[in-house]
Amino acid sequence: MSPTTALVAGAAAGLAVAMPLGAIGLLILEAAIRRGLRPGIAAGAGVAAADLTYAVVAACAAAPIAVALAPHARELHLVAGAVLLVVAVKIALGVRRPPAVAATAGPAGLAGTAARFYGLTLINPLTATAFAAVVLAMPGGEATALGVAMFALGAFAASLAWQSVLAVAGAAAGSRLSERARAATTLAGAGIVALLAVRAVVTG
């Protein structure tokens, strides 16, 4: 696979994994609605960084990953469901606290937001299986260091672009909503994340 082909394939994989609106996308929207554009972008950057990590791993060893994870699909779905449920509860409880925009918009706050979303995405086993499935579905070829780097770069850039779209949309919506409406939107998002948690457990 040529470097250009690997870059395009990485971008396609990044969009394929990022664009379906799931729990992580909803959390980026929630961060942007409640705290503004910069925290939303920081959250998206953390997610894109995790996608970069998984893209490198998947490009190097997609088949072994798929084989290793297949026997543990039920356990992985249970873990994902538990993580999402905890996140949903935390979001719902946070509605009573006013968003600390000034604190979260500073360098330390933005770095913390990015780190939290990186970790949340990284510990979600569904992200790993999604990248492995996408990579296995693409035309093969011997993996080279340059090819892996270009694939990962494409995945990162595509993921960051899409997460940024979500952040911009969330910030735009948040600027037009009253505090009560933002709280209602946050509770609705928490409810959807909780439903996704239940779905992950039931369908696992």
Q: What six digits make up the tokens of 152?
A: 């990962």
- Its pTM stands at 0.76
Taking the domains of the chain in order of start, what are their residue ranges? 3-72+100-177
pLDDT given at position 59: 75
- CA-to-CA distance for 90 and 155, rounded, in angstroms? 30
pLDDT value at residue 160: 96
Length of the chain equals 204
Q: What is the pLDDT along the chain (204 residues), one digit of tens a residue?
A: 678 888 888 898 888 888 877 788 888 998 898 888 999 999 999 999 999 998 888 777 765 766 666 677 677 677 777 877 887 787 777 666 655 544 455 777 899 999 999 988 887 766 766 766 666 665 555 567 888 889 889 999 999 999 999 999 999 988 887 777 777 877 887 787 788 778 777 876
Q: What is the pLDDT of residue 202?
A: 81
State the alpha helices, DSSP H only, in 70-144. Answer: 73-94, 101-105, 107-122, 125-137
